[in-house]
Chain A
Amino acid sequence: MRRTIIALVTLALCVAGGFATATVLGAGADGSPAPKPAGGLDLGAKPGSDSVESRQADPAGRGPDWGVVVFTARNGHACAAAGPIAGGRVGARRRDGTIAPYPIDEGASCVDLDAVPAGAQVTMGTGAGARTVVHGVAGPDVASVTLTTPQGARDLRIGPRGSFLAVLDAADAALGDVKLSARLHSGASRQLLG
């Protein structure tokens, strides 16, 4: 009986030991408050590298203009974040309708333009008046970026630092409805989204 109890206690301690070991090893993946996983990508903005581009009005004329903040990450990636503009800065809308500045020191949608010609992301909010937002950054090999939704196809304007943006009513284009392609100066094309 005593042996059985000792064996069970030993097994329980081993399970706990395995759990604790995995926890400690996992903490190395993101143990610090800053979002920089060990061995991961250091996507925080290089100080002074950010600028706002691709400004455009809200599609329903409700609320402030939208834009893209473009910056260079500490690891050299080209980064972009899209959102409504408040006080000259791109932000994210809170539940109460106010706008929080986008924390670019914590990274955003980033891409290595030496590895791929362009980066793109689509984001879709929920609730009344939700927006579907397509944004990204194109490298020097890209000649044009074309957005296709159920409403049709159109080229997006590419900003001085390569950013592009489309803000749509989510009722007109859901996340899965969005297709985005890039045509390169070489004549080749790349499907980015959809």
Chain B
Amino acid sequence: MNEYKPTIGLEIHIQLNTKTKLFCGCSTQFGEKPNTHICPVCLGLPGALPVLNEKAVEYGIKLGLALNMKINKESTFYRKNYFYPDLPKGYQITQYTIPIASEGFLEIKTEKGKRKISIQRGHIEEDSGKSIHTGDITESTYSYIDFNRSGVPLMEIVTYPDIETAEEAYHFLVLLRKTVRYLGVSSGDMEKGALRCDVNVSLSKSNTMGTKVEIKNLNSFRSIRKALEYEIKRQTEMLKNGEKTIHETRHFDEKTGITKSMRTKEELNDYRYFPEPDLPPLLLNKALVEDIKNSLPELPTQKEERFIRQYLLSDAYAYEITSSTELADYFESIAKATGKPKEAANFLMGSIMKFLNETEKTISEIGFDEKKFIEFFSLLEKGIISKNIAKEIIIESLKTGKSPKKIVEEKGLIQITDENKIEEIVQQVLKENPEAVSRYLSGKTQILGFLAGQVMKKTKGKANPQIANKLLAEALNKMKQ
């Protein structure tokens, strides 16, 4: 048991996926040729002025509401002044004293149960351009700058230092990403920089907070978890040895899994914040916020809980199926169409997910729709196919796009229910496995499973398992007498 309690806070930058940038009409498209989506405004040319993108404000309100935050009727933009080549104006337009959203929470589920993580604020700001250094930043002799990203809208979410474990931080981020994707306000893709996270962590024995360390360069949720685990261990050991941790920024090295000191906090910038004179205060009327509130979709946790309630799914299945709205909507349409939610969930989480993972396809690409599912379940119900064959048919249908019925017909996969035919095979199997038969007769009845397997093998899985078992048992019992 760790006697030092970790305190973790997160700062998450979420790119809002509006079509155009926060203050100009340039496209926000990721991955385009460098410096092709630029104009006087996002290049910070002399005389250019910002004009606020209303869609970004709407997305900001959506996210704020989804995170149970208060939407401020009046918020202001500020300038954060600092020099950096990819910051074309020499200041970033952001929010400071009063952000668009404040004081909320997100309730996460961990192995230890539910936990409310409090959120301090959510503010809208513009992204900077992107510096591309030649080689390592410390040795780079020159750098390129791509201003396509300059002015892309961001919402920064800042949590209170409420998080106590790496596990909780991970769950918080997973749920946050799910939420932004459910809302459709961001792709949430970390590898494209649409979600970026800095973490602050300190350790303390008492209730007073320890010295805060910031960790940067966290490129995946896995990295965040690993970096936190490492950092908690590192700080614990230092404190146990009577050493003091220092207020600093550390860089996470993905390869080695350790954090390295980048700079100490004494070199902190004075950003000289002051109200942005080019933008009037952002005034939101109640009706607008109310409208957005009413148009919010069902959020991940709500959906998950409803699926457990309505479709009697297991916690694990409900969690997995609600990982995206796409998957959840697919499940729900199948569940409704077939009236068999549990079975649908089984096939979805089994064969279908396996296929998706192997082929790296998404659920919308596979075309295994309600009609096919209904047909498939009817084949099963009527006993035309066996459960074993069923999996095979799904995979085949996913691969070829053919209907289950057609596959059954083409491949002759119809279940054998003819007792005479199965009896014939049972007799063959008993003849070919005398040793197993004698073991059964000597009382080792569990060998029956092996013999049944042989029957299925001979029929390529098509024999009705109940009938096969029944006939096998009857034949063996006859031999006993």
Q: Report whether chain A binds chain B.
A: no
Contact surface of A with B, Cβ cutoff 8 Å: none
Binding site for A on B (CB under 8 A): none
